[in-house]
Structure 1
Amino acid sequence: MTKIPHILLIYTGGTIGMVKDYKTGALHTFNFDKLLKHIPEINHLNCKIQSISLKEPIDSSNMNPEKWVLIAEIIEDNYNAFDGFVILHGSDTMSYTSSAISFMFENLSKPIIFTGSQLPIGDLRTDAKENLITSIEIASAQDNGKPIITEVCLYFEYKLYRANRTTKINAEQFEAFTSPNFPPLGESGVYLKFSKQLIQKPLKNSYLKVRKKLDNNIVILKIFPGITKAVVKSILEIKGLKGVVMETFGSGNAPTEKWFVELLKEAIDKNIYIINVTQCAGGNVQMGQYETSIELKNLGIISGKDITTESALAKLMYLLGEKIPKNKFKSVFETQIRGEITED
């Protein structure tokens, strides 16, 4: 007899957990123990579901590393009792949170699926029901009694993505997310189909490790035409700064003006790590391809390759927290850890 999967639903906040008071029009959170009242279809799923809600639901705009640790600890504390986890989260920062959780869980052997919605669960035209039902189905999906998904994913509007490859692209469309440099791990249509060859597999005979030390002494520096020396200098001289995610043009290009290069060099000499990511929606950083990135390569700036800004930020916090030695940091960052970059 096949064991029925046991799924833990974790509500952190966000639109998906809201219902509208039709007298006032105001949105308020609802008790997830009453989930079946709003989505009776869940009764038809072949799994047992339990839910946990954060004491105070968080608008995703207020997400931060402390709350990432809280979510990680809820999963860690319940890891052995459940076969899969579905995290309900506001869509605005879902790519940041899910990327961070992917780095925090090493040797993951169970699914952690993030989802949310653009409209509240009680709305007539809501996308919440489909996103939630399918996420639970994905978290329950097994092959010979073992989970099909063994990584952190994000499910939204019929597509299952590797979480640390995603970015939010639309505030109004139901198709709110994309994965610009990596194909979906699965799609929901008449049938639920997985691209099993793409799914990260845990190492054999390895145990789950949850890494909870994150260092957020970092900044995102977006390069733009006309950026001034004063702006770059003020950012790179922030007290206690340890890392910079620098969003450059195209395939990793930046100004070649002497003051710009010198400021970067001074920062690197102060042991500040600088990660070069493209501000394009998709594509790869290839330093040295154009003259405007040769200087960056010569300085020893770290290539983000085809990582997203959200994932670069999460990976930087994670690696700084792990206190990677300076002489290894560049090679570790440029190496795939959780499927977040495409290696050459």
Structure 2
Amino acid sequence: MSSPSVLVFATGGTIGMRETDAGLAPDPDFPEILEAIVSRICAPLGIASRVNHLLPAIDSANADSETAPKIARAVRARVRTHRPRGVVITHGTDTLAYTASRLAFELGDLGVPVIVTGSQLPHGAAGTDAIDNLTLAIRAAVRAAPGAPVSIAFGGGLFPAVRATKHDSVSLSAFRAELPLGAGPSGIPAAANPDDAPHAPARVLSFRLVPAVTAADLRAAAGGSPDGLVLECYGSGNGPTARPGMLGALHELCATIPVVAITQCTSGGVDLARYAVGRELQAAGVIDGSDLTIEAATSKLGFLLDRGHTGGELRALMEANLVGELRSAS
């Protein structure tokens, strides 16, 4: 019987950089270095390994709406060919939580555990966290159940991708998850347009409410013609609906693109039926985002739009628990 194997798919980020006179920059020797690091981790575990790289590698600050779907397609192709026991994806930390959350939807039916990791310090830096994070990710990937949810391995912890966020720009424990996975996920729905020709990926933006916001600001948030908008509300889903023109602007937006409400709070969630102002948002057409994180909300909405879901079906799916990204309705 052959030994279990792990696929390590490197996409870029600090983990593959080195110090230069101009600051941190990609290390041209990293492909060979990563091969050696992965081999040293896997050998005592009796695990075979294969290392692939996304070309060109990306600085995660430059990630866009196509980045995560591109990674997902590449991983699916390699899993079909090599049939690994688990997959580890290395990624820059700036947008790691966004990519990992999108991959939780894209690869939710992969049948192979997927762990996303990276590092705060380059692989060759003194005190680097790269080796520890890679070791944790590889161990988790080959030991998790085949249907385990996509997770982030970082700073000694494992976090569900759809609940995680980067909360610290310096600490080696940069990620956390305030809430556990929602119980009883229904799974990834069939695509509404599986036979359609390829199209540009949906662009989903977010807009954070602050006391000075006006209706003109809200309209301006959609000035670049995004495909969806996540509205970061106060508390349990409140906003300045008494502000002149605000409700009218919301009605206009919701008639054009899906708008999803989430809370600015780190825990809890939205309940648009709780307050009168929340009900006004709901009446305008805003979708209740429950306790979705900003990363999960933008990722989920983009994923569903890319798969052709619209209208009432889109609303129902956004409010449903697909892969543990939100609390199930009681």
TM-score range (shorter-chain normalised) is 0.7 to 0.9
Answer whether contact 1:150 1:202 (CA < 8 A) is retained.
no
Answer whether contact 2:219 2:253 (CA < 8 A) is retained.
no
Q: Identity across aligned pairs (percent)?
A: 30
* Partner SS for 1:56: strand
User: What's the TM-score, normalizing by structure 2?
Assistant: 0.87
1:316 aligns with 2:301: yes
Aligned equivalents of 1:133, 1:13: Cα separation in 2: 18
Q: Which runs of 5+ in 2 are unaligned?
A: 189-193
Aligned twin of 1:16: 15
Aligned twin of 1:266: 252
Instruction: Decide whether aligned partners of structure 1 residues 138 and 27 sit closer, same or farther in structure 2, where only a CA change above 3 A counts.
Output: same
**In angstroms, what is the RMSD of aligned CA positions?**
2.7
Aligned twin of 2:327: 342
* Partner SS for 1:54: strand
1:233 aligns with 2:219: yes
Answer whether contact 2:183 2:328 (CA < 8 A) is retained.
no
Aligned equivalents of 1:34, 1:112: Cα separation in 2: 22
Aligned twin of 2:191: none
- Matches of residues 249-264 of structure 1 in structure 2 within 5 Å? 249-257=234-242, 258-264=244-250
* Partner SS for 2:205: strand
Of 210, 213, 216, the match for 1:224:
210
Answer whether contact 2:42 2:48 (CA < 8 A) is retained.
no
Aligned twin of 1:85: 87
- Please list the CA deviations of residues 152-201 of structure 1 after superposition, one character each: whole Å capped at 9, or x if unmatched: 11111121111111111000111111111216xxxxxxxxxxxxx97979
User: What's the TM-score, normalizing by structure 1?
Assistant: 0.84
1:127 aligns with 2:129: yes
- Matches of residues 133-148 of structure 1 in structure 2 within 5 Å? 133-141=135-143, 147=145
User: Match for 1:158: what amino acid?
Assistant: G
Aligned equivalents of 2:327, 2:200: Cα separation in 1: 24
Aligned equivalents of 1:328, 1:339: Cα separation in 2: 19
* Partner SS for 2:206: strand
* Partner SS for 1:292: helix
- Matches of residues 1-344 of structure 1 in structure 2 within 5 Å? 3-20=2-19, 27-29=25-27, 30-35=29-34, 37-38=36-37, 40-80=40-80, 81=82, 82-141=84-143, 147=145, 150-182=148-180, 215-236=201-222, 238=223, 240-257=225-242, 258-270=244-256, 272-344=257-329
- Please list the CA deviations of residues 215-269 of structure 1 after superposition, one character each: whole Å capped at 9, or x if unmatched: 3333211110011232112224x25433110000111110121411111012223
- Please list the CA deviations of residues 283-337 of structure 1 after superposition, one character each: whole Å capped at 9, or x if unmatched: 2101132233121122231111011111111111111112224122211110011
- Please list the CA deviations of residues 87-117 of structure 1 after superposition, one character each: whole Å capped at 9, or x if unmatched: 0000110011111111112422111110001
User: Match for 1:116: what amino acid?
Assistant: G
User: Match for 2:272: what amino acid?
Assistant: M
Answer whether contact 1:7 1:139 (CA < 8 A) is retained.
yes
Q: Which runs of 5+ in 1 are unaligned?
A: 184-196, 204-208
* Partner SS for 1:216: coil
Q: Shift of the alpha carbon at 1:20? A: 4.2
